[in-house]
Structure 1
């Protein structure tokens, strides 16, 4: 198994894909975090209470939710790219059984997901400094907790991508499906569910669950840090606005979002294991 893992790391870091997709993570994380600090609604609150707001907590959620798609894409191409390059035959012949290959890729890409997560945290932190200054971070423990959630979200998106790529095995399809689902399909579904009895279902969809890992943690911490003992008087509308802009779902705990998304990742990994073990590689 050690040999397979080393082989996966070698294949991963001798190609340009991992750093080519890492560049937009850094740029988007910085840009989203910087622009997020300028959200007009926050400026009015800041002026009203007369002190800086810990906007970095919210913008870390925004930057993570923009960047996780690239972790999903790089994970999806772990298998789909090998099918496209026809190297999957050699990989399976030298790494039999096929399940061991999947296990080695999961280990390698978990580490890559951590790298993506660290870059997101650093870039998002720099963006928050550029937009809100050092006072915009809030308390150190709060910041570290939200950053840890961002790392976890990035890793889970990477693992979901690996499973999805093993399941579909076509790079064009995996790229299109991931992009369209995250940025188009789920948005349309949310529009249809708004105001209906089934509106609560939205929080359990993959995209919403993924964004809720950080958003459903960052927004309540931000409210608590801002309102203090008066938190119970904060109107529901403020929560909903913050979740709409920075991610997550009102009243939905972050750990439930994490478990929901981890369940989706596990299903894709199991599906990828089943179908990749039966797919013709000749």
Structure 2
């Protein structure tokens, strides 16, 4: 197993995909956290004076104590999480497109060990993406958000852990989608369109027209975003155990500001997205355990 894992790292490091996707991931995380930092630094202007007064009375703290830095960090990390998903697609689908999968399977004792080595290797890559994304989002937040509005040390550590968990699961999710589809181009195009456009439209339409506030809390993009975003929402009483008297519209707006509309809590988002990841990853595992190679 050790040699198979070493071989997987060598294969990945000899390609441009790992740094070709890491660079835009860092840039997007930084730019989005920077932009949301400017937007939410004056949270009263962002939320509205009446909603601000209502929320202040519920939380029992003044506006100057709100950790709005969590909101900027969450958006930066969440948008960057798209790139480890794409990176994961290359794990198996990329080998099929480059015709190297035959060598991978034939040089391993069995396909189960080969696939296990890939899983372990890409978990490590997911950790790297998580640490780097949290770092980039933190930098963008520090540059725009007032120091008294930054998250506390425990909150930052929570974001760091959640960010790593999200990127690890996102990478495995990408592996599963690519493994089932067996096409890099098809998987990437479909994932980008669905994650960035289709699901977001579904969530907004469901809330605006059907008054359904929970849809984002069960769909793949919403749940992976909720792993980090719900930490920010929970700081404002809009996720986890919600504040009594908090109306649905304000709760959804706060969740949206945290990048996690519809999220129940960070751990519920993690469990649900783990389920989505398991469906695609196990499906891809089963398909590739029997797929013919040439």
TM-score above 0.5, yes or no? yes
Say if 1:235 and 1:201 are closer, same or farther in 2 by CA, change over 3 A. Answer: closer
Structure 2 residue runs of 5 or longer lacking an equivalent are 53-61
Structure 2 Cα separation of the partners of residues 43 and 197 of structure 1: 25
Which structure 2 residues correspond to residues 150-169 of structure 1 after superposition, within 5 A? Answer: 150-169=163-182
Identify if the C-alpha distance between structure 1 residues 251 and 10 changes in structure 2 by more than 3 Å, giving closer, same or farther: closer
C-alpha separation between the residues in 1 aligned to 2:74 and 2:137? 9
Q: What's the offset of the Cα at 1:199?
A: 5.2
CA apart distance, 1:79: 0.8
**Contact 1:58/1:222 (CA < 8 Å) preserved in 2?**
no
Moved over 4 A (4+): 45-50, 231-236
How far 1:55 sits from its partner (Å)?
2.1
User: Which residue of 234, 240, 261 corresponds with 2:252?
Assistant: 240
- 1:216·1:250 contact (CA, 8 Å) conserved in 2? no
Distance 1:177 1:43, change over 3 A: same
Distance in 1 between residues matched to 2:162 and 2:101, nearest whole Å: 34
Moved more, 72-81 or 133-142: 133-142
Residue 232 of structure 1: how far off its partner (Å): 4.8
* Shift, 1:157, TM fit: 0.2
Structure 2 partner of 1:211: 225
Contact 1:46 1:53 in 2 (8 A): no
Does residue 42 (structure 1) correspond to residue 54 (structure 2)? The answer is no
Contact 1:128 1:136 (8 Å CA) reproduced: no
Give the structure 2 partner of residue 200 of structure 1.
214
1:51 and 1:244 map into 2 onto residues whose CA distance is 21
Alignment size in residue pairs: 276
Q: Deviations over 1:104-157 (max 9, x none)?
A: 111011110111111111111110111014333231111211221111111110
Within-5 A mapping of 1:45-56:
49=62, 51=64, 53-56=66-69
Question: For 2:194, what is the secondary structure of its paired residue?
Answer: helix
After the TM superposition, which residues 121-140 of structure 1 pair with which residues of structure 2 at under 5 Å, given as runs? 121-140=134-153
| Conserved 8 A contact 2:29-2:136 | yes
Farther off after superposition, 129-138 or 95-104: 129-138
RMSD in angstroms over aligned alpha carbons? Answer: 2.3
More helix by share: 1
2:133 aligns with: 120
Tell me if the contact between 1:72 and 1:161 (Cα under 8 Å) persists in the aligned partners: yes
1:264 paired to 2:265: no
Contact 2:127 2:168 in 1 (8 A): yes
| C-alpha distance in 2 between matches for 1:46 and 1:143 | 26
What TM-score comes out, normalization by structure 2 length?
Answer: 0.86
Between the aligned partners of 2:148 and 2:213, the Cα distance in structure 1 is 37
- Local SS of the residue matching 2:260: coil
Q: Which residue of 1 aligns with 2:55?
A: none
> Contact conserved, 1:243 with 1:250, CA < 8 A, in 2?
yes
Pair 200,237 (structure 1): closer, same or farther in 2 beyond 3 Å:
closer
Counterpart of 2:59 in structure 1 is: none
Measured in 2, the distance between the counterparts of 1:73 and 1:232 equals 40
Contact 2:70 2:151 survives alignment (8 Å): yes
Is 1:281 the counterpart of 2:282? The answer is no
* TM-score, with length taken from structure 1: 0.89
User: Quick one: higher RCO (CA 8 Å, sep 6+), 1 or 2?
Assistant: 1
Question: What are structure 1's unaligned runs of at least 5 residues?
Answer: 225-230
